[in-house]
Amino acid sequence: MDAIAIIPARGGSKGLPRKNVRPLCGKPLIAWTIEAAREARHVGRVVVSTDDPEIAAVSRAVGAEIVWRPEPLAGDEVSSEAVLEHALAELGIRRGALAFLQCTAPLTLPEDIDGTLTLLAKADTAFTATPWHGFPWRQASCGSESNPALHSLVPVGHSAAVRPRRQERGGLYLEVGAVYAMDVAGFLRARHRFFGRVRAHVIPKERSIEIDDAVDFLLAEALLRRRLQGEKAGRLPRPLAALVMDFDGVLTDNRVWVDQEGREAVACHRGDGWALARLKEAGVSLLVLTQESNPAVLHRCRKLGLPCIAARGDKLPALRDWLSQRGIDPRTTAYVGNDAPDVPCMLFSGCGIAPADAAPCAQQAAQIVLDAAGGRGCIRELAELVELAGVGRGAGAAHHR
């Protein structure tokens, strides 16, 4: 199966203005859905239908094609089906598989798209859904027009006199507007998304968030950030026996103050000091590896109880020697660096890590790019990842070769 994915994204959004390009965890909202579609195994083309130049530019930048939507199809009352029909006509597509995706569901994974499309082998249309155990009510009669709370309510799909337990209310699913898969020919005949045999691809509740307002956006941001941190933590060596780090640009913000006598001073983050103590408790061997001869480096390392090596020339030979002397496998080592001299060490280690403001060459060499900048708590963030992954406890003593 080689489906076409169509993502409608108009410029006008009243609930949350400009939400389709609003930054979410470092990317425009629509980019998350486009990237998920491009990574899906069963999607061959990704198309965004839009009337908005900024949405078009952002979408092209992350690999989507653009179908320009005419003004009559850009209003609040226009159905998604009408937009899909227009896009298919513009692309000259009348058969095959269609994945209708909504960029307001940014937690959608490639496997959610693939799983929904796979159901077309036994169905005409499929959609994402999540288990649901709610008790819906609807208005039965009008009360005061000025006070909707006075409206009379009646239960829907359950009895007001009987309250079954959660485990007794199985078999109910809530439609999630993340992925709709359809046979194109059938859709063009029916002109709506649910026709013929309908199946549901069940996804967990944490991926079912749909963004309509600011509260939804905050919930999606929290869940997505948690996922991203989990992904970063999963790249750490198992076990993590050693953490080696540069000083300038990692434990400092890479700036230096010089007074009239030529004395230099640097700024460090106290949270990093706390984090280093936590890493020691987790059994991780620590080392500062620098090319800097500034006495401030030695003073700070001494205060933190960190061994420090001032390498003359390339750092990699010094790193090799230090690991060899302690019998530590480089594959169980993480190296935090911020610039070109650190790149060989980052590539040699089991996991190269870069602060958020590291030089491009260091970020490209890194398996993990932290959200925090050097000297701004990046080691604290790393310690939290180690704790999240559970890879450091006792590693320093138990996993030397």
Tens of pLDDT, residue by residue over 139-195, are: 876 655 566 666 688 888 888 888 887 777 777 899 999 999 999 999 999 999 999
Dist. CA 311–CA 321, nearest whole Å: 11
Q: Reply yes or no on whether the pLDDT at 12 is more than 90.
A: no
Count the helix, strand and coil residues of the chain and give each as a percent rounded to the nearest 5.
40, 20, 40
Do 210 and 294 have their domain in common? no
Identify whether residues 219 and 284 lie together within a single domain: no
- The answer to whether 247 touches 264, Cβ cutoff 8 Å, is no
Nearest to 232 by CA among 38, 77, 46, 372: 372
Answer yes or no: do 271 and 340 share one domain.
yes
321 falls within a domain: yes
Domain end call among 179, 204, 232:
232
Q: What is the CATH number of the domain that holds 296?
A: 3.40.50.1000
Are residues 178 and 259 part of one domain? no
Note whether residue 186 is domain-resident: yes
Q: Are residues 384 and 319 in the same domain?
A: yes
Predicted local confidence at residue 141, as pLDDT:
67
Q: Decide if 213 is inside a domain.
A: yes
CA dist 231 and 218 (Å) reads 20
For residues 330 and 217, membership in a common domain is answered with no
Confidence at 400, pLDDT banded by 50, 70, 90: very low
H or E element, residue 336: strand 333-336
Q: Note whether residue 146 is domain-resident.
A: no
Distance of alpha carbon 120 from alpha carbon 38, whole angstroms? 19
Segment among 144-148, 230-234, 275-279, 284-288 with least mean pLDDT: 144-148
User: What DSSP designation does 192 have?
Assistant: S
* 330-351: average pLDDT: 97
Give the C-alpha separation, 80 to 7, whole Å.
10
Range of the domain at 379: 234-398
d(CA 166, CA 33): 32
Q: Give the residue from 232, 253, 287 where a domain finishes.
A: 232
**pLDDT per residue as tens digits for the range 219-251:** 999 999 999 999 999 999 999 999 999 999 999
Q: What is the largest CA-CA distance in the chain?
A: 84
Q: What's the pTM value of the predicted model, to 2 decimals?
A: 0.82
Distance CA 95, CA 257 (A): 67
Alpha-carbon distance of 183 to 92, in angstroms, equals 15
Assess if residue 78 is contained within a domain.
yes
306, 390: one domain:
yes
Q: Which of 182, 205, 232 is the last residue of a domain?
A: 232
Q: Please indicate, yes or no, whether residues 26 and 52 belong to a single structural domain of this protein.
A: yes
- Rounded Cα distance between 28 and 48, Å, is 14
- Bridge partners for 4 per DSSP: 45, 98
Give the number of domains in the chain: 2
What the block records as the tokens of 285 is: 């061997």
Residue 149 lies in a domain: no
Q: How many helices (H) and strands (E) does the chain have?
A: 13, 19
Whether residue 7 lies inside any domain: the answer is: yes
Domain match, 207 and 317 both: no
One domain for residues 176 and 84: yes
Report CA torsion sign: 184, 186, 190, 195.
Answer: negative
67 or 254: which leads in pLDDT: 67
Is 340 part of a structural domain of the chain? yes
Which residue reads 């965004």 in tokens? Answer: 48
Same-domain pairing of 318 and 179: no
Mean pLDDT of 319-326: 97
CATH number of 98's domain: 3.90.550.10
pLDDT attached to residue 119: 98
Buried b (16+ CB within 10 A) or exposed e, 131-151: eeeeeeeeeeeeeeeeeeeee
- For the stretch 275-278, contacts whose Cβ atoms lie closer than 8 Å and that sit 24 or more positions apart, written own/partner, are 275/379, 275/380, 275/382, 275/383, 275/384, 276/304, 276/306, 276/379, 276/383, 278/383, 278/387
**Other residues' Cβ atoms within 10 Å of the Cβ of residue 152:** 9
Distance, in Å, from the CA atom of 177 to the CA atom of 187, rounded to the nearest integer, reads 17
Provide the CB-side half-sphere exposure for 334 (13 A, CA).
31
Query: Does an H or E element contain 332, and which?
Result: none
End-to-end CA gap in the chain: 48
Residue 393 has pLDDT above 60, yes or no: no
* Residue 131 CB partners (closer than 8 Å, separation 6+): 170, 172, 173, 174, 202, 205
Are residues 189 and 243 part of one domain?
no
CA 279 to CA 353: how far, in whole Å?
16
